[in-house]
Amino acid sequence: MSQGTTFTQYIAELGSKNPQIPASLLVSVANACKLIAKQVEQGALAGIIGSAGSGNVQGETQQKLDIISNDILLEACGLDSTLAGMASEEMETIFPANKNGSFLLLFDPLDGSSNIDVNVSIGTIFSILKKQSTGELSEKDFLQAGCDQVASGYVVYGPQTTLVYTTGQGVHMFTLDHETNEFLLIKENIQISPDTKEFAINMSNMRHWDVPVKRYVDECLAGAEGARKKDFNMRWIASMVADVHRILCRGGVFMYPWDKRDPSKPGKLRLMYEANPMSFLIEQAGGASVNGKDRIMTLPAEKLHQRVSVVLGSKNEVDLIQKYHQGS
* Cβ atoms 106, 142 nearer than 8 A: yes
Q: What is the mean pLDDT of residues 201-223?
A: 97
Confidence (pLDDT) at 51: 66
Confidence of residue 63 (pLDDT cuts 50, 70, 90): confident
Global pTM reads: 0.95
Q: Over 90: is that where the pLDDT of 56 sits? A: no
Please give the average per-residue pLDDT across 175-192, as a whole number: 97
Residue 314 has pLDDT above 60, yes or no: yes
Query: How confident is the model at residue 167, as a pLDDT?
Result: 98
Residues listed for the chain? 328
Using one digit for the tens of pLDDT, what is the confidence trace for 256-303?
A: 999 999 888 899 999 999 999 999 999 999 999 999 999 999 999 999
Is 3.40.190.80 the CATH number for 198-325? yes
Look at residues 279, 273, 264, 270 and name the one whose alpha carbon lies nearest to residue 311: 279
Torsion of Cα atoms, 273 then 277 then 278 then 279, to 10°: 120
pLDDT for 254 equals 98
Kindly compute the dihedral angle of the four CA atoms of residues 311, 314, 320, 325, in this order, to the nearest 10 degrees: 10
Q: pLDDT (tens digit, 9 = 90+) per residue, 114-170? A: 788 888 999 999 999 999 999 899 999 999 999 999 999 999 999 999 999 999 999
Residues 30 and 188: their CA atoms lie apart, in Å, by 17
| Dihedral sign from CA coordinates of 220, 121, 281, 257 | positive
- HEC profile for the chain? CCCCCEHHHHHHHHHHHCCCCCHHHHHHHHHHHHHHHHHHHHHHHHCCCCEEEEECCCCCEEEHHHHHHHHHHHHHHHCCCCEEEEEECCCCCCEECCCCCCEEEEEEEEECHHHHHHCCCEEEEEEEEECCCCCCCCHHHHCCCHHHEEEEEEEEECCCEEEEEECCCCEEEEEEECCCCEEEEEECCCCCCCCCCEEECCHHHHHHECHHHHHHHHHHHHHHHCCCCCCCEECCCCCHHHHHHHHHHHCCEEEECCECCCCCCCCCEEHHHHHHHHHHHHHHCCCEEECCCCEHHHCCCCCCCCEECEEEECHHHHHHHHHHHCCC
Residue 227 predicted with pLDDT over 90: yes
What's the average model confidence in pLDDT over 48-69? 72
The pLDDT of residue 162: 98
Q: Is the dihedral of CA 178, 180, 182, 188 positive or negative?
A: negative
pLDDT for residue 264: 87
Please answer whether residues 153 and 133 qualify as being in contact, where contact means their C-beta atoms are separated by less than 8 angstroms: no
Q: Residue 62: what pLDDT?
A: 75
Where do you find CATH 3.40.190.80 in the chain?
198-325
pLDDT at 1: 76
Within the chain, all domains assigned CATH 3.30.540.10 are found at 7-187
Residue 194 confidence (pLDDT) above 90: yes
Which pLDDT band holds residue 48 (cuts at 50, 70, 90)? low
CATH homologous superfamily of 7-187 equals Fructose-1,6-Bisphosphatase, subunit A, domain 1 (3.30.540.10)
What are the backbone angles phi and psi of residue 71, rounded to the nearest 5°?
A: -65, -40
pLDDT for 244 equals 98
Query: What does DSSP say about strands 95-96 and 83-88: parallel, antiparallel, or unpaired?
Result: antiparallel
pLDDT tens profile 7-35: 999 999 999 999 899 999 999 999 999 99
**169: nearest Cα among 272, 252, 247, 283:** 283
List of residues 6+ apart from 44 with CB closer than 8 A: none
**Torsion-angle region of residue 198: left (phi > 0), alpha (psi -120 to 50) or beta?**
beta
Q: Is the pLDDT score of 45 beyond 90?
A: no
pLDDT at 53 (0 to 100): 59
Type of residue at 168: G
**Mean pLDDT over all residues of the chain?**
94
Radius of gyration of the chain (CA): 19
Q: Is the pLDDT of residue 6 over 80?
A: yes
